[in-house]
Structure 1
Amino acid sequence: MSTGTDPGPGPGTEGPGTARRDARLTRQWTTWVPPVAVVVLAAGWGRALPGPVVAVVGLCLIGSVLSAVHHAEVVAHRIGEPFGSLVLAVAVTVIEVGLIVMLMAGGGDKASTYARDTVFAAVMITCNGVVGLSVLVAAVRRRVAVFNAEGSGGALATVTTLAAMTLVLPTFTTSRPGPQFTGAQLAFAAVASLCLYGIFVTVQTIRHRESFLPVVREGDPAGGDGHAPPPTVRDTWWGLGLLLVALVAVVGNAKLVSPAIEDGVESAGLPHAVVGVVIALMVLLPETLAAVRAASRGRVQTSLNLAYGSAIASIGLTVPAIALASLWLPGPLVLGLGALHLVLFALTAVVSALTVVPGRATLLQGGVHLVLFAAFVFLSVSP
């Protein structure tokens, strides 16, 4: 994954001077935007914000998202794949957990489905939106998107197992009325999710690391990393620190604008689940941009690592954390999906398997995933 600080030589570049100048400009604004966003977050926390201030917070949110992408790519380029893909996935998931807990703590009766709506939205966004867009971008540029079927297939199997165990089974269990787990069932699902996540990370980073490395095609630079040299250790630590600051700014400012989102959803007469979809879209935007940028460079495996890794982390870390938080959070915890979302999940699982197994994908597969994602968004608005 490129650091974003040196685009490297290639057709249409304006020369090394322009590249270095653009890199300096990128470093400048991505350095000061996260601290400014945190200051705005601190100033607006716990207050009712008027419309103009909400707009400023929204701009800080967008800037923080773009900064997070830049600094994540700096860290990822230094430590290499597949470790780099874990950086943003885990960091964003930790922030996502904090956001869900904050919303559930102050959301009243409506908060019982926040975790389910947000986690399922994350699965649909990553497995259909991010995967579809990445495949589409790569196929447009190189006709065929090439990736490692073994690694991607294992990641997809982990995603579907985690999603089925935590979001599908509660709909069919009978020990408690409604789509809810009992305490013992929730504890089992949480422990099993953590175990699966730990096994996946071990396989991805240690035992079978080669299965998650980008496929290098003829004519690509060695390793697929482009011409940019790795950042220094100092720059890497600096980038990691700013990445964490940017992610805090993302989730914090998303929390600030969420009341405006909720009010807009209610005034428009939309289902309450739309709030979870919008929040998941905002939180996952850094990973989406990073995945698309990787796909545009022919590193589709990196894009899939980000997509499926984010889905795995979103379930494998969020559900155990929410299960623990439910001990003190008021109200029930509803995890089971309804019939409509069960159908969408089944379609996603089947289509994803057909996409991943060959190790190659074209515009068609990308288009199918994007249509499924569009169906999810549309049916969330109009169930």
Structure 2
Amino acid sequence: MASFSVTIESPAILRPVLDRAQKIVEKRNTIPILGHFHLTGGADGITVRATDLDRDIAITIQDGVTVTAPGAIAVPAADLANIVRKLPNGAEICFEADERSCAIVAGRSKFSLPILPAGDFPTMEDIEGEGFAVPAEALTRIADAVTYAISTEETRYYLNGVYWHAGDRDGEITAVATDGHRLSRIVLAVPDKPADMPGVIIPSATVALFAMVAGLDETPRMTVTTTRIRFETPGMVLQSRLIDGTYPDYGRVIPQPSGHAAMIDRQSLADAIDRIRVVQGDRGAAIKFQFDDENDLTMIAADRERDAHGNETLPVDRTPDNAALPVVEIGFNGKYMLDCLNSIDSEVVQLDIADSSAPVRVEDPDDPTRIAILMPMRV
């Protein structure tokens, strides 16, 4: 007799759920069961869970699901996802499992997968608390605006995520990321934020799921403790551990406006940097920025070992409150500057440069909540 029997009307119902859950599953696991989906069939339909011990996702499907024999199984995640991905939408999927294997039948397609005991699947204790509503737009803007500056250095693990803390005003949250060479910060309106919300460091792997969460609900609910974070949308719960560490006082490295700012067409600047970087064998090499007294910016890229050079000149506008732009030469990592420019939406970008040794403030004239910092490089 089957210990688990579930029928789903179409692969189209299950496919997006498995795709979301698979984002949690690591491709290589030293613990075999972490490479499995935990499937539970019951009165509420079928729930698909996945975990990597640091993150845990549970997605429930109710519509189009018939549970004949309630139960739970742990089935290989990659195999199941690939099977369902390739099945035609016209046939219903039937799962029949005993203690050792699960049969999957869809039309004339039949599969059998080995299973592991569902009781061995690790669980993450649920966070208590009602949480608060977070606009989906806030999550997508954080992902788009600051993730490029997250550090990948394991020695400074506390920089391997986005620092999320209360803003200077009620109803605001500030998100910042830095790797010590660049920094990006954005302030977002979250009216329901509790006054006592702790400042937390959200791991980069969890931030990478923000767009997915935002796509499921306009106002997902979020619960934050000092050790974990939880997102909830209709039918889905995502939990994650937080990075245990103290984020540095990043405000100390943000320079005050110098009074010398250049306004440049953002896309033209990005395209020019991308073009001249072709000659550089070292993708982390510096590009020299030369601002002259004719309101022009000349960018120079070079690979001295091959005697290869590239340069391009763009017109620069002064900001309304500047009488003149400084004549200055300064170097920046070309890739870092491109990443920064691509995270900004406006047509024009503002570069505030005090001198050749000072960090540059990169600002979006259309969004005063955004600021990015790039440290200079020797050229």
TM-score, length-scaled by structure 2: 0.21
Larger Rg belongs to = 2
**More strand as a share of residues:** 2
**More helix as a share of residues:** 1
TM-score, length-scaled by structure 1: 0.21
Bigger relative CO (Cα 8 Å, ≥ 6 apart) = 1
